[in-house]
Amino acid sequence: MSEHHLNDQEIVRREKMRQLKEKGIDPFGRAFKKDAYSKEILNRYEALDKAAIEAIPSSEKTFVIAGRVMTKRVMGKAGFFHLQDQEGQIQVYVKKDVVLEDAFNYFEHLDLGDIVGVEGYAFRTNHGEISIFATTITHLTKALRPLPSKFHGLEDKEERYRRRYVDLIMNPDSFEIARKRPKILKAMREYFDSIGCVEVETPVLTPILGGAAARPFVTHHNTLDMDFYLRIATELPLKRLIVGGFEGVYEIGRLFRNEGMSPKHNPEFTTIEAYIAYSDMQGMMVVIEDCLEYIAKQVNNSTETPWNDKVISLKGPFKRIHMVDAIKEAMGVDFYEVKSTEEALALADKHGVNVQKHQRSYGHIVNLFFEEFAESTLIQPTFVFGHPLEISPLAKIDDHDPRFTQRFELFIDGREYANAFSELNDPIDQRERFEDQVKEKEQGNAEASEMDVDYVEALEYGMPPTGGLGIGIDRLVMLLTNQETIREVILFPHMKHK
């Protein structure tokens, strides 16, 4: 940045940087060995009064801490500042005749945002605040830009996501979400490990589009002179591993979908997919119930989670309802009674449901009715099963009604959180379904799968009956942290250019 673009504060800070150099102090510091976090110190002395802390010998209450200066008050020959580290903030008291003149002069010239190290002992001030009485102060990093005075109002939303580092400094809530997300992932791994699943990794670059209905990102490999997709699902390679003899596998990983952005959608997002041999759709319901209950208890110490103005209970068992019954409950139309595509199209016309060219079939229309009328009525966790064949190219057919499949999705407050099936393991049926998807692609469905000949061949070697599931991790983090938008739970969401 050239000097003439700097504002007054930035000019002053650069001048202070030069003064540090003149005194032989590196403005950007060196390694510093700390031995405590703010929170540990506050917790340790929280229950003790002023006199009780004073009675402890100094050597037993001396700490070395480091962090960012967030507030500062100088009062003659003494002063206070708040130091913020990863665990929170603690007040530091600086007295001229203890730290000596040079260090006190340094303290007087500190800017908010500077990073310092402090050695000192714990005490309680006359106002009752547990603080550190500084004996030495070490300069660690000069901040050349001032921190904003406010960085959490509505007007700053976009800026907060663009400059997440400033958001994390200024907003304890954002920092807490960022720390809770890995706890959720850790609990999820613990759960799937505990039921005997093995964590694996599969390719992000894939030559064939499959495993979900979505528009892909396309990239090019120069040496091979081949186009690849960024994966839209991890399903097909994971099921190849079940063919190979693994009896339970899972992968937590990024998926990429080249689609619209919304409070619920980011072009790259994280899911877990798991496949368990000798199980089925019913088995996957139990796994999802147990998994979500376990994570909620581990992370929030409760299966009740506040969500907007509601409380969602993640205590199993969850409600189960067939998609056709959910439509009937929501708006009175009974699709069991509908016997032809013409009848379904007439109903769509009557209820103002828009049907695209590739959706002119019974199953697609059932799904459109569900999305339009039933989805938003499902508040507490609900397994909606019996998805139509046309929208479930990888699930087994329902034994009782071939129009439907052994598939379910988990809905909470009108949003989908998980998807699961009794996996299709009949290679002949699978090939036909891929062929149907290819026809849909030709009719203009940009989200249809492609023919994966190798996957069909894998099934010809024999895949045991298998249950499979996918859970959207970003949405789960949103639920467990009570955040309305996905951008709050992804550290670096994708943004339009300014």
Domain boundary among the residues 92, 114, 147 is at 147
239 in a structural domain: yes
Same-domain pairing of 303 and 440: yes
Whether residues 143 and 279 share a domain: the answer is no
96 and 176 in one domain?
no
pTM of the model: 0.92
| Pair 309, 428 in one domain | yes
Task: Indicate whether 19 and 117 sit together in one domain.
Answer: yes
Integer CA distances (angstroms), 335 to 98, 174, 212, 338, 383, in order: 82, 45, 25, 5, 19
Say whether both 183 and 90 belong to one domain. no
Indicate the number of domains in the chain. 2
- Residues 380-409: b if buried by 16+ CB within 10 A, e if exposed: ebbbbbbbbbbbbbbbbbbeeeebbbbbbb
Q: Which domain holds residue 123?
A: 3-147
What integer pLDDT is reported at residue 4 of this predicted model? Answer: 62
Q: For residues 88 and 38, is the Cβ–Cβ distance under 8 A? A: yes
Based on the fold, state whether residues 265 and 178 are members of the same structural domain. Answer: yes
Mean pLDDT, contiguous 10-residue spans, the chain (498 residues)? 77 97 97 98 97 96 98 97 98 97 96 98 97 98 92 68 93 96 98 98 93 91 96 96 98 94 90 98 98 98 97 97 98 96 96 94 97 98 96 91 97 97 95 90 85 95 98 98 95 86
Same domain, 183 and 260: yes
Q: Are both 394 and 246 inside the same structural domain?
A: yes
The CATH number of residue 395's host domain is 3.30.930.10
Domain shared by 115 and 251, yes or no: no
Q: Is residue 345 a part of any domain in this protein? A: no
Residue 176 resides in a domain: yes
Of 147, 177, 205, the last residue of a domain is: 147
182 belongs to a structural domain: yes
| Token reading at 341 | 């595509």
Q: Are residues 142 and 173 both part of a single domain?
A: no
